[in-house]
Amino acid sequence: MGWKIFSHSVFLLNHNLRDALRISSPLIATMLLNLFLGGAMAIDNLEAGTPQNTGPNLLLTLLSAIAGLWVAVAWHRFVLLEERGGSLPTFHGSRMFAYFVVILLMMIGLALGAGAAGAIAGIALSNITPLFVLAMLAIAVATLWAFYRLSPLLPAAALGESMGVKQAWEATASISGAVLGAALLLILFALLCGGAAMLVWFQVNILIGVILMGVMQWAYTMVGISVLTTIYGIAVEGRNI
């Protein structure tokens, strides 16, 4: 089932490629800004021997975050509500803010839980390095699993649907193993994409490698959003894939 979730997410992107490019245009624009402006600033600072100017970097980071929220909300709504928008995706400011708050709270909660578990493991296993490493790996996998168990909260925020933590957890109970499988496949996909781009970078041509890395980053981001969308469709709306 994990493979089905992942492959369906890739299918959503491939089957709706033109719409995906249109909806993700704000993200593509900020990626290009980061590539050209960020790269140019880094080169200028390196040549001048001065430290990086944090102002423009913070602005680029803020623009990237806004674009990411914009695209995530728009893609969820396109797939689940068939909301098409215009040449640019519809800007749902309130939904984007809700999405940001939900993901922030999720990350804080999961980080606190993982930190507490890591501290306990560190105290109990500090003198047994192999077991400590295994414990850290188990905590990382458990945190990833918990994130995707709670992931319906994010599309729900994008759609304006009311959903609590308990509801999200219960909704994904029947596919709890599958969501972890899909998450691990997504990580493998990211590693393969990054590895392919770096191979081209070092063995073929730097410019082609940079372009390929940008394309792979876009594909990984959109597939990642699609995985969240697919989980919501199955767990909450009862859709078949």
pLDDT tens-digit map of 90-145: 999 999 999 999 999 999 999 999 999 999 988 888 777 888 899 999 999 999 99
Structure tokens at 54: 């944090």
Binning pLDDT at 50, 70 and 90, where does residue 213 land? Answer: confident
Rounded CA gap, 180 and 138, in Å? 13
pLDDT at 16 over 70: yes
Q: What is the pLDDT of residue 20?
A: 96
Rounded CA gap, 87 and 147, in Å? 33
Is the pLDDT higher at 49 or at 238? 238
DSSP 8-state symbol, 51: -
pTM for the model: 0.89
Is the pLDDT higher at 49 or at 16? 16
Of 216, 133, 140, nearest to 183 (Cα)? 140
Q: What is the pLDDT of residue 59?
A: 87
pLDDT tens-digit map of 176-194: 999 999 999 999 999 998 8
pLDDT at 22 over 90: yes
pLDDT at 18 over 80: yes
Q: What is the pLDDT of residue 57?
A: 77
Mean pLDDT calculated for residue range 207-217: 87
Structure tokens at 121: 């493991």
Mean pLDDT calculated for residue range 157-177: 96
Measure the CA angle with vertex 65, ends 60 and 71; round to 5°.
120
CB 14 within 8 A of CB 223: no
Torsion angles phi and psi, residue 2, rounded to 5: -60, -40
CB 85 within 8 A of CB 74: yes
pLDDT tens-digit map of 62-72: 999 999 999 99
DSSP 8-state symbol, 150: S
Torsion angles phi and psi, residue 87, rounded to 5: -65, -30
Question: Tokens 């999720």 sit at which residue?
Answer: 106
Query: Mean pLDDT lowest for which of 5-19, 21-35, 42-56, 184-198?
Result: 42-56
Q: Where are the domains of the chain?
A: 1-237
Q: What is the mean pLDDT of the chain?
A: 90
